[in-house]
Chain A
Amino acid sequence: MMYLAFAACCLLTNLFLGTLSTTGSAAEIINGILLLIDFALFVAIIVLTVVVCIERFYKNCYGPEGYLTFTLPVKPWQILLSKTLSSALLIICTLAVICGGVLLAVPFNTWNSIDMSDMVAAFEQGLQAVGAGNAAGLALNILGAVARNLFVTILAIYLAISIGQLFHDHKVALSFVFFFVIQSVIGLLTSLLFAGTMNMSDILSTYQQSVDSLDSLIGMINTFIGLQSLWMMAIAAAMFFGTDYIMRKHLNLE
Chain B
Amino acid sequence: MNSTADLLKCEDLTKKFGKDTALDNISFSLDPGHIVGLLGPNGAGKTTLIKMAAGLLTPTSGAILIDGDAPGVYSKGIVSYLPERTYLNESMTPDQTIKFFSDFYEDFDPERAGEMMESLNVNRTKPVKNLSKGTKEKLQLILVMSRKARLYLLDEPIGGVDPAARDYILNTILQNYEEDATVIISTHLIADVEQILDEVLFLQDGKLILQESVDTIREERGLSVDETFREVFRC
Contact = CB atoms under 8 A, between A and B. Distances in A.
14 contacts: A66-B56, A66-B87, A68-B88, A71-B79, A71-B81, A72-B105, A73-B74, A75-B73, A168-B18, A251-B55, A251-B56, A252-B57, A252-B58, A253-B57
Interface in A47-78: 64-68, 70-75
A69 to B, nearest CB: 8
Nearest to A78: B73
Nearest to A254: B17
Nearest to B144: A71
Binding site of A, secondary structure by majority: helix, strand, loop or mixed? loop
Contact of A253 (B51, B74, B86): B51
A64 B77 contact: no
A71 B86 contact: no
Interface of B: 17-18, 51, 54-58, 73-74, 76-77, 79, 81, 83, 85-89, 104-105
Interface of A: 64-68, 70-75, 168, 249-254
Given A71-B76, A73-B77, A64 B87 contact: yes
Contacts of B57: 251-254
B205 to A, nearest CB: 18
Contacts of B18: 168
Contact of A251 (B58, B76, B79, B81): B58
B58 A72 contact: no
Contact of B85 (A67, A72, A250): A67
Given A67-B83, A250-B58, A253-B51, A73 B17 contact: no
A73 B51 contact: no
A74 B73 contact: yes
B127 to A, nearest CB: 14
B56 A67 contact: yes
B20 to A, nearest CB: 9
B89 A65 contact: yes
B88 A72 contact: no
Contacts of A66: 56, 87
A73 B73 contact: yes
Contact of B76 (A65, A73, A250): A73
B86 A73 contact: no
Contacts of B81: 67, 71
A72 B108 CA distance: 12
Contacts of A71: 54-56, 76, 79, 81
Contacts of B74: 73
A67 B87 contact: yes
Contacts of A68: 87-89
Contacts of A70: 54-56
Contacts of A75: 73
A253 B56 CA distance: 6
Nearest to A250: B58
B83 to A, nearest CB: 5
Which residue, of A67, A75, A253, A254, has the highest number of chain B Cβ atoms within 10 A?
Answer: A67
A64 B85 contact: yes
B76 A72 contact: yes
Contacts of B86: 64
The 5 A-B residue pairs whose C-beta atoms are closest, nearest first, are A67-B87, A73-B77, A73-B76, A253-B56, A68-B87
A90 to B, nearest CB: 15
Given A64-B85, A71-B55, A72-B104, 20 more contacts: A64-B86, A65-B87, A66-B56, A66-B87, A67-B83, A67-B87, A70-B55, A71-B76, A71-B79, A71-B81, A73-B74, A73-B104, A73-B105, A74-B104, A75-B73, A250-B58, A251-B57, A252-B58, A253-B51, A253-B57
A170 to B, nearest CB: 12
Among B57, B77, B86, B87, residue most surrounded by chain A Cβ atoms (within 10 Å):
B87
